[in-house]
Amino acid sequence: IPVDPFDLVIFGGTGDLARRKILPGLYRRFWDGQMPPEARIIGAARSEMDEASYRAFVRDAVTEFVSKRKCDSELLDQFIERLSYVAVDARGEDGWEQLAGMMRDGVVKAYYFSVGPSLFGDIAERLHRFKIADDDARIVVEKPFGHNLETARALNATLARHFDETQIYRIDHYLGKETVQNLMAVRFGNMLFEPLWNAQYVDHIQITVAETVGVGGRGDYYDRSGAMRDMVQNHLMQLLCLTAMEPPSKFDPDAVRDEKLKVIRALEPVEPHDIVRGQYRSKDESYLVDVENKDSLTESFVAMKVHIANWRWNGTPFYLRTGKRMKERVSEIVVRFKEPPHSIFEEDTGQSANELTIRLQPNEGMDLTVTIKEPGPGGMRLIDVPLDMTFAEALGEEAADVPDAYERLIMDVIRGNQTLFMRGDEVEAAWAWTDPIINGWEAREDKPKPYEPGSTGPEEALILLHKDERRWRELR
Ligand code: NAD
């Protein structure tokens, strides 16, 4: 279903994020018929560039990042015609009058701030001063949303001077993933899971976001941030919220976000012995070399045990881990159910327990491990088998060719649906929980444990679960 006609301005329209994600994503929506032909995209950035050069830049980006099959020349030509460019200086006066003149009446207006957060205030102020944004306009802001509670509050206050909370779309692209939304469908669209979704039946939950890449070209930014700020405060926190939250009364932006906020507020402070920090290091490859800071104490890996202090989750730990240069690229949530209270089978190994795995990448899908009888004449021997549901297999390749998180979220912005965007108070609550943890490390000058690149992280992370007689789902 096509969305309403829109004018979308991308500040930072020549940047890396625009090139790799936003513009190719918009083209895929156009190709699918979801972006109406009257829609317009205006790139706005610092470089002096004419419209023809910008169109050539976007054509290259689309050709590079969208599958060949979709780069059908006629549709791509039509898409390219929807593009314009204006050179603006976020901190100066140049280009703003021109941008004001380009915006049309009677269409949805959206402004994507794909620039560093230090420019958010300048852009917001100019959008108002030059009467570019009206009361219905939407702004989209990227991570990082603050560096700690104080800076996140300041950023929220800056945006609030010019925009109402209902106009602000804070992107966490994890929320745009098909499986993440499916997690809500599975939990609240079935009778099967929700009655068991609590401390009485769930032994523990694991959330893993592991990357195989190192810090790459972002060393400078990453070293000032680290895994806790870059991944846990936002992405893992969002996954934790959707897994742990109470059923909202309806699938409406504030109903969902109210429930997520309650989870964050119920998080207990984490004791130092429940956290392991790591830094990848071997004789050939080292975090310290990658970030060009031989004394860095920043973590490229973190694993922790987290408790949610409420009725539903009392006594059920959530184990979180994320890191760079790990063995496998995987994002998944594993819900491990308890073992049956009494076994009636003599040969039962006692190992059987149901496990629901929600995979965000690769191969978005879910699988549920169930215990069955091993087929054959060997008596009542039990084995665990997966009831696998990889979307590509279950729904056919075409249906599983799901939109990328960014394109889905941008269409939600145009539709005016904030459900999958973080509210200001959520972001602040998440920082309020992470700040004391990070401040504790800094005060103690806590040294991250070294781990071999391409491994599962420091040994201490394995011990964190062994101590509780549990283990991480294996990375392959
Ligand atoms: P980038 O450095 O590649 O691009 C920055 C863009 O901002 C350029 O188009 C530049 O012209 C424009 N710009 C800079 N200063 C300006 C000014 N004074 N006036 C007008 N335009 C100006 O950055 P990026 O990687 O595209 O990232 C953009 C934002 O998105 C950052 O906040 C980043 O943290 C965030 N982000 C990026 C990624 C990613 O994968 N690249 C992922 C998540 C979040």
12 pLDDT higher than 90: yes
Q: Find the mean pLDDT for residues 257-272.
A: 97
Q: How far is the CA of 382 from the centre of ligand 1 (A)?
A: 55
Question: Closest residue (by CA) to atom 39 of ligand 1?
Answer: 17
For 124: left if phi > 0, alpha if psi spans -120 to 50, otherwise beta; the answer is alpha
Distance CA 195, CA 191 (A): 7
Q: Which atom of ligand 1 is nearest to the CA of 14?
A: 9
Distance CA 181, CA 343 (A): 36
Alpha helices in 103-195 (DSSP H): 120-129, 149-162, 178-189
Q: Find the mean pLDDT for residues 223-237.
A: 97
9 lines ligand 1 (CB under 6 A): no
- Catalytic residue set: 235
pLDDT grade, residue 193 (50/70/90)? very high
Based on its alpha-carbon atoms, the radius of gyration of the chain, rounded to whole angstroms, reads 24
Which residues, listed in sequence order, are joined to residue 382 by a DSSP beta bridge?
373
Question: Closest residue (by CA) to atom 23 of ligand 1?
Answer: 15
Distance CA 167, CA 22 (A): 19
Question: Closest residue (by CA) to atom 30 of ligand 1?
Answer: 114
Determine the distance from the C-alpha atom of residue 35 to the mean position of all C-alpha atoms in its chain, rounded to a whole number: 24
Of the given ranges (317-321, 355-359, 363-367, 415-419), which has the lowest mean pLDDT? 363-367
CA neighbor of 476 nearest in space, from 459, 456, 457, 458: 456
Which of 114, 173, 230 for mutating ligand 1's site (highest number of atoms within 8 Å of CB)? 114
Q: How far is the CA of 290 from the centre of ligand 1 (A)?
A: 21
Query: Are the C-beta atoms of 241 and 264 separated by less than 8 Å?
Result: yes
Instruction: Give percent of the chain above pLDDT 90.
Output: 83
| Cα 350 to Cα 197, 212, 341, 347, 386, distances in angstroms | 22, 34, 10, 9, 18
45 lines ligand 1 (CB under 6 A): yes
Q: What is the pLDDT of residue 345?
A: 82
Which of 10, 16, 21 for mutating ligand 1's site (highest number of atoms within 8 Å of CB)? 16
Distance CA 214, CA 454 (A): 10
Distance CA 305, CA 463 (A): 12
Q: How many helices (H) and strands (E) does the chain have?
A: 17, 15
Q: How far is the CA of 54 from the centre of ligand 1 (A)?
A: 16
Sign of CA dihedral 206, 211, 217, 223: positive
143 lines ligand 1 (CB under 6 A): yes
67 pLDDT higher than 60: yes
Q: What is the pLDDT of residue 344?
A: 85
Which residues, listed in sequence order, are joined to residue 359 by a DSSP beta bridge?
332, 365
Q: What is the pLDDT of residue 365?
A: 85
Name the strand (E) or helix (H) holding 97: helix 96-102
Q: What is the pLDDT of residue 401?
A: 62
Q: Which atom of ligand 1 is nearest to the CA of 90?
A: 19
91 lines ligand 1 (CB under 6 A): yes
The tokens describing 221, both together, are 């930014």
The most distant pair of C-alpha atoms in the chain lies apart, rounded to whole Å, by 82
Question: Closest residue (by CA) to atom 10 of ligand 1?
Answer: 12
405 lines ligand 1 (CB under 6 A): no
Which of 14, 115, 139, 218 for mutating ligand 1's site (highest number of atoms within 8 Å of CB)? 115
The DSSP 8-state label assigned to residue 254 in this structure reads H
Q: Find the mean pLDDT for residues 106-123.
A: 95
**Is 58 or 143 the better-scoring residue by pLDDT?**
58
pLDDT grade, residue 350 (50/70/90)? low
Q: What is the pLDDT of residue 379?
A: 81
Distance CA 323, CA 300 (A): 6
Distance CA 248, CA 286 (A): 45
Q: Find the mean pLDDT for residues 101-109.
A: 96
Of the given ranges (246-250, 334-338, 345-349, 456-460), which has the lowest mean pLDDT? 345-349
The DSSP 8-state label assigned to residue 308 in this structure reads B
399 pLDDT higher than 60: no
* Residue pLDDT, tens place only, 128-148: 999 999 999 999 999 999 999
Instruction: Give percent of the chain above pLDDT 70.
Output: 96
The tokens describing 57, both together, are 């830049």
Q: Which atom of ligand 1 is nearest to the CA of 19?
A: 26
pLDDT grade, residue 168 (50/70/90)? very high
